[in-house]
Amino acid sequence: METWGMVIVVLLQAAYISGTAVESTIPTTLDGPFSPVTVALGDEEFRGNAVDLPDTDPRVVRRVKGFEPEQISVSLSAAADSVWISWVTGDFQMGPNVQPLDPSSVSSIVYYGRLRDQLTLVATGNSLVYSQIYPFKDMLNYTSGIIHHVPLAGLEPGTRYFYRCGDPLIPAMSATHEFRTMPKLGPKSYPKRIAIVGDLGLTYNTTSTVDHMKSNEPDLILLLGDITYANLYLTNGTGSDCYSCSFPKTPIHETYQPRWDHWARFMEPIVSEIPIMVVEGNHEIEEQVENKTFEAYQSRFAFPAKESRSSSAFYYSFNAGGIHFVMLGAYISYKKSGKQYKWLQRDLAAVDRTVTPWLIATWHPPWYSTYASHFREAECMMVEMEELLYSYGVDIVFCGHVHAYERSNRVYNYTLDPCAPVHIVVGDGGNREKMAVAAADEPGHCPDPLTTPDGMGGFCAFNFTSGPAAGKFCWESQPEYSAYRESSFGHGILEVKNETHALWTWHRNQDSYNSIGDQIYIVREPHKCSIQPALAAEMNPLFRDY
């Protein structure tokens, strides 16, 4: 017995050493900064063709009857003990004259529990209907089905729950679904895998991305804006990958709102069981009469705004174990004098890094991207907010918008800095507008600065005054802050291992799901970097009149 015990120990040690050897082949940010790399992926076929799923695809057609729930999704609240369940009952209407459904005619009820056959807990919520109105000749108006949002509170962290939603009196109830709450708050507790994707849309590349993402079994999904691309279509459903090119004379920028319903039906099998958190992109603006914007975005998702002391669905925060996520809005005011900036100050000041060591920020348009598409477009937001995020030691920034993949070295104010965040762009989930291929540093591809206004209409990107691009708007070669870039559809997986190490993996769609495009351990060094100390919320003067 003693001999067999020693053999087992030796085998376990060998396995451990072998595993460590494999892990050690993955670079870490401590090995950087890295020399810039551009991966050439060959022909257009590799990048994929952005072809829409048709309205007749069985994955997007309505499959329920009457007021049975559909488009079911789970999203997180600010803490691990609560989630939101959202769904739609009743069908949308399209036409010159639409009559909205009465939200009070159908109840918003969720039965839930820890055992599939014992859903003894009950929660109720609220419901609403939104409309997209265009009182112009030949344009069709839209009104949604009844959208329900129900909060579930008092949940146990890291626990599987089962639920059914709907109205039992009609009766119109969903099938039974399940979800798992986030791990408990603390520095030793993390979701196993977080999927991060941007600019998803509803194309055949979207289906590849979502299938691939699901195969990686994430515990949480972050979607970084440009969700459905409904605004690439006229109200009659005619679409284009360049709206302004194909429809230059429309009196208002139309959208085809059923695209939202199609997208939510397609996504339901995954987001009814895996929580999804979203932030708005430019394609969610969807202007209509009376200067209304973002109606679909604000109506269809539940946001932990109130729970995170935000007054807006455009910016909020939440915790997932030892990670504090900050979701920011690039298409509302981000100025230092504005509500969002002041909220961000308060939120960051309240973060206790001994409890949530990791601080991750996301928004839609990137500050650091070297592609010609949207080059330096978010410079005004960067001018206003970068110093604040840097002073509180944000570890990683995730963005979308640019339809390619890029990972930076640690960078602050265009300068390599070991205490700055790693910026990662994942704006290539499957969008209708195809890939970004040309880099701004390639001959003939540096854009005219006057063609790069930011989302709020400002111009902040001018010629550089110092550094290797001094006197120029673009670099003449891939800048040193850009560690890795490639044009491919796909998604990323973040695996936070402990207080200091997180494994980031970029998965391309076109590699049969078996190979990895980019992989690195992002390593925190809090002992080397000065971080603004957290202040207790009740003692922080920034909170006093909030």
Contact of 86 with 76, CB cutoff 8 Å:
no
Report helix angle 379-391 to 339-349, nearest 10: 20
Contact of 467 with 474, CB cutoff 8 Å:
no
How far, in Å, CA of 360 to CA of 326, rounded?
A: 6
Q: What is the CA radius of gyration of the chain?
A: 24
Is 374 noted as a catalytic residue in this protein? yes
For residue 450, CA distances in Å to 373, 471, 543 come to 13, 16, 40
Q: How many CA atoms lie within 13 A of 44 on its CB side?
A: 3
DSSP one-letter string for 59-124: TTS----TT--EEEEEEE-SSTT-EEEEEEES--EEESS-----GGGS--EEEEESBTTB--EEEE
DSSP one-letter string for 176-198: PEEEEPPPPSSTT---S-EEEE-
How far, in Å, CA of 118 to CA of 360, rounded?
A: 37
Q: What angle do CA 514, 517, 523 make, to 5 degrees?
A: 115
Q: What angle do CA 469, 451, 340 make, to 5 degrees?
A: 85
Tell me if residue 311 falls in helix, strand or coil.
coil
DSSP 8-state class, residue 284: G
How far, in Å, CA of 59 to CA of 232, rounded?
A: 20
Tell me, rounded to whole angstroms, the distance of Cα 263 from its chain centroid. Answer: 15
Q: Which residues pair with 113 in a beta bridge?
A: 162
DSSP one-letter string for 341-380: HHHHHHHHHT--TTT--EEEEE-SS-SS--BSTTTTTTHH
How far, in Å, CA of 230 to CA of 5, rounded?
A: 63
How far, in Å, CA of 274 to CA of 192, rounded?
A: 13
What is the per-residue burial (b if ≥16 Cβ within 10 Å, else e) of 204-241? bbbbbbbebbeeeebbbbbbbbbbbbbbbbbbeeebeb
How far, in Å, CA of 382 to CA of 408, rounded?
A: 15
How far, in Å, CA of 316 to CA of 293, rounded?
A: 19
Alpha helix ranges (H) inside 400-497: none
Q: Which of 149, 262, 374, 507 is an active site residue?
A: 374
Burial label, 31 (beta-carbon count in 10 A; 0-12, 13-18, 19+): exposed
Nearest Cα neighbor of 428 from 437, 441, 420 is 437
Cis peptide bond upstream of 248, omega within 30? no
- Give catalytic residue positions: 374
